Structure formats: structure tokens, C-alpha cells
């Protein structure tokens, strides 16, 4: 029986600054600000930053997600950007929900759209801009 290539160990909210002045946000920024591999225990971690403009100051949330790498051949076959995208896509639904949960007491809460992030280039920030139709 084939072993899965990696397991999600978990994720944590490491830092947050949320300012809400009852203003709708105009953008959401998503970036992977760091990633690293610990070869002693085959653990890969990424640090994710989500930003928005609820007020005159930028609000942000910084998460860390960690994975156990079970298949080093698979891990090594991925280029750095593809690695970030694939591992980010695993934890993205949890981060979306956590941010909405934190901000839902305010009007409006920060609802990050459902997007396929597997092919996103995380060498720079992904910026989602709200457009009025």
C-alpha cells in the first residue's frame, strides 16, 4: 500500500493585528513569507501572511503550518514555488475559516473567496481586489 507523501501536523496563528472601523475592505493580500525544511525530523514549515485594509492601518494575520514529509523523493521533485503552492493549498481552507471566525464579530467579517491556490506563484503577494459590479 502506498504511503502518502506528507501529513499536515497542524497550523497556528502566530501573530495578528486586526483593526476594524466598520469599513469594508478593498483588498486581501496572501503571501508565503518564509518556508524551511528540517532534515533532522523531515518537517517542512511555511509561514503565511494574510493582509487586508479594514481601516487606515493594514490588518494582518500570520500563520505557520507544519508537515511531516513521508516521501523525500516527492518533496525533492517539487521546485520551490510548486512546493509552496501545494503545501499552502492543504492548509488554506483552515486559514480562511479561522480568519472569518476571528473577524465575524465585526461587520463585515473578512471572507476570503474560495480559490485554487495550487498554481499560484508565491514569489510575490497574491492580491485580491474587490470590484463593485
CA distance 42 to 58: 35
The answer, yes or no, to whether residue 33 has pLDDT greater than 90, is yes
The larger pLDDT score, comparing residue 73 to residue 24, is at 73
CA distance 8 to 13: 15
Answer for the pair 50, 92: CB distance below 8 angstroms, yes or no.
Answer: no
Task: Report pLDDT digits (tens) over 42-78.
Answer: 999 999 999 988 666 788 999 999 999 999 999 999 9
| 3.40.50.1370, 3.10.420.10, 3.40.640.10, 3.30.70.360: CATH of 6-115 | 3.10.420.10
Q: Give the pLDDT score at 125.
A: 81
Ranges of each domain in the chain: 6-115
Mean pLDDT of the chain: 86
Distances (CA, A) of 16 to 31, 42, 79: 15, 28, 30
Task: Report pLDDT digits (tens) over 84-107.
Answer: 999 999 999 999 999 888 888 766
Amino acid at each position: 500500500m502506498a504511503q502518502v507523501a506528507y501529513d499536515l501536523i497542524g497550523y497556528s496563528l502566530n501573530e495578528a493585528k486586526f483593526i476594524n472601523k466598520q469599513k469594508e475592505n478593498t483588498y486581501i493580500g496572501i503571501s508565503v513569507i518564509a518556508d524551511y525544511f528540517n532534515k533532522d525530523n523531515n518537517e517542512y514549515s511555511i509561514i503565511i501572511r494574510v493582509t487586508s485594509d479594514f481601516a487606515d492601518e493594514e490588518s494582518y494575520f500570520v500563520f505557520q503550518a507544519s508537515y511531516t514529509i513521508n516521501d523525500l523523493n516527492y518533496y525533492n521533485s517539487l521546485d520551490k514555488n510548486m512546493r509552496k503552492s501545494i503545501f499552502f493549498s492543504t492548509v488554506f481552507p483552515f486559514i480562511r475559516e479561522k480568519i472569518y471566525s476571528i473577524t465575524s464579530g465585526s461587520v463585515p467579517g473578512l471572507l476570503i473567496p474560495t480559490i485554487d491556490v495550487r498554481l499560484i506563484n508565491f514569489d510575490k503577494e497574491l492580491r485580491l481586489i474587490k470590484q463593485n459590479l
